Structure 1
Amino acid sequence: MAKDTASATALGAADLQLDDAVLRALRERLPAIATTTVAAVVDEVPDYRGALGGTAGATIQRAVQMAIAGFLKLAGGGRDVDPSTPLGPTREGAYALGRGEARGGRSMDSLLAAYRVGARVSWRQLALAAADAGLPATTMAKFAELLFAYIDELSAASVAGHTDELTTSGRVRDRYRERLGQHLLAGAGTDVLTAAAARAEWSPPASLTAVLLPAAEARRALASLGADTLQVGEDLEGIADADPDHPLTLLLVPDADGPGRVHLLRVLTGRHAVVGPARPWALARSSYDRAARTATLARPPRSGAAVDTERHLADLVLTADPEALADLRDRVLAPLADLPPATQDRLAETLLSWLLHQGRRDAVAAELHVHAQTVRYRMGQVRELYGDRLTDPAVVRELVIALSGPSGASSRG
């Protein structure tokens, strides 16, 4: 950590003179003062209660003894103290204490509360010892000012350590979580995934749902999702026609099935997102694959709602093997092949509507915005071309599949 060039305690110590008898008396009382101070912190600060017998108690004991010893050394320096000299090991110890308390899960509020209690109790004990040793009242005021300035600087060092530890551990955890996401996309085995999750301090959920969305929208979306949502970098495979100027990022959202999916779709409204299916967490790759394929097929609704892959299952099935679909179209639409292209399109459109509406002429006419007699005339042409095949369930199924595919399905390559 950075060192100050002129601390308030060093400046104060230069104006304070404690004779050897007072310093000797204070140093003799140091262990008892430290014990009393630690007991008060453990008793009054909730996060430290019950810590006396454990590692935390020993840490606090060492920190308090070091702090008081450092203070007495500083107070005894008198006019020999250089104002430009930093607090040295004591300041570094306070900084290390802050980092250790962050690693131990204690909040900054608890750390500052411990400093407040420690300052109050140690001052009371030091003042009693100094008074017993004959410290004049005029010097006692400077002694108090020096002590509280010293505690302020140590607490600031501990706060800096606490903040730095959280920042550093957060970055490390984020890197481990991104690596976990990469393992999930790679389809790694359960042992690898479980170990990666443990390193990332991430508890595996029952399921993960893949969400593809523009990288620029990811931060705002994450603010509305759970803290355990994983984010994978922008270099994603399997997305055709990706725009390099507007890269996509991937979020893996825990337990977003059932009511959770409704919430997820609501959160993603207006964010140009594609939402895959919920899958067991170790199989998240399949959710990503579904979302990636849908991203190449479906455009976001005009309403701004997220693209829900569950609403595009038929399209995904139809486009799973484009060449097979093209071959099917060529075969089942062969009776129309000799007609002019415009006539082929009209009859194919009418045939599909007629099959889906189960021959209800008025419904077909309403859908196609034509007269019912026009539907009758067109279907008469179709029957001449297909004959009895229109009564064969297998042929009907193939016609519906072929005619429901994308308009460009017959084009190869």
Structure 2
Amino acid sequence: MTSRSTSGLRLPDPVVAAIRAELPGAAERCIAAVMREVPQYSEPFRGRMGRNIENAVTLALGGFLDMATTDAGIEPGSMVESVFEAAYALGRGEARSGRTMDALAAAYRVGGRAAWHDLSASAVENGLPAAEVAKFAEFVFDYIDQLSAASVSGHADELATSGRVRERHRERLAHSILTGVDRASLTVLAERADWAPPATLTAVIAPSSASAVLRSQQEARTLHAGSDAPGLDDHPDLTVLLIPDLGDRARTALVAQLADRQAVVGPTRPWDQARTSYRRALRAIILDVARPGASADSEDHLVPLVLTADRAALADLRERVLAPMQGLRPTTIEKLTETLRAWVLHQGRRDEIATVLFVHPQSIRYRVGRLRELYGDRLTDPQFILEAAVALGLSEG
């Protein structure tokens, strides 16, 4: 009788022959045990896939027997190498299917235990000395650990690769939303990015240094447009997030969190119309209305956003409102302009005007009298009052 050895294990030829004959049945029982004890595989292993997995297990057990009967170990091009490549591919496939590595590790444990039960029984029945059984057990479970490690590596690599691909698709989706791509095209991009559209999105412009923390605190579907979002060319230190279904309480908390930063939270809009949320937040950034320490909520800055929507028109309106002062000295124009502004905003209440401007009431009476000389009945004309409020409402004088 001849025997072969590896790592101190000696398997007599009759034992090898008996185990090899046992492999198909052992593979079948391994599959049955996994289906019974690991719920995640109770359905996937049925039918055609089950037969394919059974063949793979038979191959894996055959690879084990080859390792146990040669001194060469894993050689390039050998069946054993093919087995480990298959284990790596299995890990990647499980990641693509959405199953965790925990499920696959459980399958390895259950399958290894079932295989050991069959193989050890066959080995003992065919004369494997008791002294060698412990070495045989060590070899079996070491082999299972190596296969499991190969699958873990494949699973991790697939997650890393698919994660990078998915992130690129989601960044492209975010850019497409911000540039106003039509809903049908956005839906296709969302499917490609494995992204289930929420009801709404809220655009947030914040420092790039804070983006990772903000994303970790928000819903998993939060999109990141990066710092190269359209319109942010002059603000390379800022980035854009699109947050799904941001409720009132979460919005309040987010605004408070961003109050000490150069950041703006746009209005909430239907997910495929989130471009309007971003455009408002972007205008708030450009106008510098949300400085550190001020509110980061664009809803708190609607007046300046509205009044500066058309800067040229605002300038023309201001020029028309102040036209009667043309020809006066600059210092006089400055004083009368601040008085007119206060007159409009405080509805002509002279004491309030004096308090706001820190000017003696007698001086206010003089200035108001001067305004009446310049504007006449227009000071009581509702249309002029509206125009003056809009034209001077943002100025300090």
Alpha-carbon offset, residue 355 of structure 1: 1.4
Alpha-carbon offset, residue 202 of structure 1: 0.3
1:120 to 1:269, Cα distance in 2 relative to 1, 3 A: farther
* AA in 2 matched with 1:320: A
Quote the Cα distance in structure 2 between the aligned partners of 1:142 and 1:108. Answer: 28
Matches within 5 A, 1:46-195: 46-54=39-47, 57-58=50-51, 60-77=53-70, 81-83=71-73, 85=75, 87-195=80-188
2:245 matches 1:255: yes
Are the counterparts in 1 of residues 259 and 296 from structure 2 also a CA contact under 8 Å? no
Partner of 1:375: 364
* AA in 2 matched with 1:283: Q
Match for residue 264 of structure 1 among 242, 254, 277: 254
Unaligned 5+ residue runs, structure 2? Answer: none
Does 398-407 or 213-222 show the bigger shift? 398-407
Partner of 2:306: 317
Does 345-354 or 168-177 show the bigger shift? 345-354
Percent sequence identity over matched residues? 50
- TM-score by structure 2 length? 0.92
1:24 to 1:63, Cα distance in 2 relative to 1, 3 A: same
Partner of 1:237: 230
Are the counterparts in 1 of residues 260 and 292 from structure 2 also a CA contact under 8 Å? no
Unaligned 5+ residue runs, structure 1? Answer: 1-10, 409-413
Quote the Cα distance in structure 2 between the aligned partners of 1:250 and 1:219. Answer: 11
Alpha-carbon offset, residue 295 of structure 1: 0.4
Partner of 2:347: 358
Does 18-27 or 192-201 show the bigger shift? 18-27
Q: Secondary structure at the match of 1:279?
A: strand
Q: Secondary structure at the match of 2:268?
A: strand
Q: Secondary structure at the match of 1:18?
A: strand
* AA in 1 matched with 2:252: V
2:315 matches 1:326: yes
Listed one character per residue, the Cα deviations across residues 103-159 of structure 1 (whole Å, up to 9, x for unaligned) are 111111222111111221211111111111121112222211111111111111011
1:210 to 1:406, Cα distance in 2 relative to 1, 3 A: farther
- TM-score by structure 1 length? 0.88
Are the counterparts in 1 of residues 262 and 292 from structure 2 also a CA contact under 8 Å? no
* AA in 2 matched with 1:169: S
Quote the Cα distance in structure 2 between the aligned partners of 1:239 and 1:302. Answer: 18
Are the counterparts in 1 of residues 88 and 153 from structure 2 also a CA contact under 8 Å? yes
Alpha-carbon offset, residue 76 of structure 1: 2.3
Match for residue 19 of structure 1 among 8, 12, 34: 12
Quote the Cα distance in structure 1 between the aligned partners of 2:360 and 2:209. Answer: 49
2:267 matches 1:274: no
Alpha-carbon offset, residue 319 of structure 1: 1.1
2:233 matches 1:222: no
Matches within 5 A, 1:336-355: 336-355=325-344
How many residue pairs get matched? 391
Quote the Cα distance in structure 2 between the aligned partners of 1:134 and 1:37. Answer: 24
Partner of 2:196: 203
Quote the Cα distance in structure 2 between the aligned partners of 1:58 and 1:375. Answer: 96
Partner of 1:398: 387
Kindly indicate whether structure 1 or structure 2 has the higher relative contact order, using CA contacts under 8 Å at least 6 residues apart.
Answer: 1
Quote the Cα distance in structure 1 between the aligned partners of 2:252 and 2:48. Answer: 47
Quote the Cα distance in structure 1 between the aligned partners of 2:218 and 2:261. Answer: 14
Does 59-68 or 16-25 show the bigger shift? 59-68
Quote the Cα distance in structure 2 between the aligned partners of 1:381 and 1:38. Answer: 98
